[in-house]
Amino acid sequence: MPVTSPPINDLYPFLEPRASGMLELDARHRMYWEEAGNASGVPVVFLHGGPGAGSTSDHRRFFDPRFYRIIVFDQRGAGRSVPHGEIEDNTTPLLIADMERLRRHLGVERWVVFGGSWGSTLALAYGAAHPERCLAFVLRGIFLGSRDEIDWFLYGLRRFFPEAWRAFVRDIPELERRDLLQAYHSRLVDSDPQIHLPAARAWSTYEASCSTLKPSGENVRQMTVNPTALTLARIEAHYFSNDIFLPPGALLAGLERIRHLPCWIVQGRYDAVCAIATADTLARAWPQAHYVVVPDAGHSAWEPGILAALLQAMEALKALLNERLEAGSTL
């Protein structure tokens, strides 16, 4: 289903959070959260990518602030959460538990779950664990966390971005390139900034360079500045090294628990980071979902076609939820 590509300024206008705070998770971690929009509106929770990328003020702007109660947070170790870049006690089951802690803290009964890239992974994992807490899903740039997908990121991307891949491996000795994940993981967890910072910049530059259909210097700049580069690279390598802390096939198996809920899947045709074959697999396993393939886009949510499709999905969901509310149904 093709979509038009309006300019990026079709996002909702900038808005400040109504409330924000730091939520104590355990003896080590504290999680940043914020709320914006309609305090009495339909709750929607934004799940950022990476893992480790963190959220930005623009992530509030995907949602109509008159209708939605917009909840944004930074996952463990990412963004404004502390300690920064921490991988101890940082696993997918713990992130799911963190979402539940935040939901209860904010007094939310059920919420729409919106996530792209790693955010789509966490959304599916959360939904399978807590289907009764989900109203609907809007997912973008699908990543199911398989070993094939991780290997594609580390090696397969060189088929389309050979220059970026050569830069990615330039400082890795030839023998270590047989296991790039281990080579990078060992550097990224090293305590010496002279070792982990260059590795973080190389990893983040590689990912950013492959994330858009057309070269985007701004996208590369945003993803490679410190401290974003370090949290993104270190936490991604941590999760990839541990097969995202979920059994193989767990996300597809978990669809049985959420298949009855509304879902939109948005995928760029030329997404190199999270190849369309994965979104196709999810769409075939979840035929009830609305599957939107954007014909002129890569991976980034900020590409015009992807942005338009996400905004259209949120508008379609708003109409659906309004119908239910007007019919006297509870959400």
Q: Both tokens of residue 273? A: 């980071």
Task: Quickly list H helices, 75-155.
Answer: 92-106, 118-129, 147-154
- Find the radius of gyration of the CA atoms of the chain: 19
51: its two tokens:
């893992």
Selected catalytic residue, list 48, 55, 299, 300: 299
84 among known catalytic residues: no
58 in catalytic set: no
CA angle, 294 then 296 then 300, to 5°? 75
Q: Is 299 annotated as catalytic?
A: yes
Q: Which of 5, 55, 81, 117 is catalytic?
A: 117
Spatial contact of 183 and 154, defined as CB atoms under 8 Å apart: no
Are 188 and 200 within 8 A, CB to CB?
yes
| Residues linked to residue 70 through DSSP beta bridges, in sequence order | 36, 44
The one catalytic residue in 64, 74, 98, 271 is: 271
> Virtual CA dihedral for 271, 275, 280, 285, nearest 10 degrees?
-130
β-strand pairing of 111-116 with 42-47 = parallel
| Rounded Cα distance, 195 and 131, in Å | 42
What is the rounded CA–CA span in Å between residue 45 and residue 29? 20
Rounded Cα distance, 245 and 239, in Å: 7
Own/partner pairs for 256-259, CB < 8 Å, 24+ apart?
A: 257/127, 257/128, 257/131, 258/124, 258/127, 258/128, 258/131, 258/134, 258/137, 259/286, 259/288
How far CA 47 is from CA of 99, 137, 165, in Å, comes to 10, 11, 28
> Where in the sequence numbering do the catalytic residues fall?
117, 271, 299
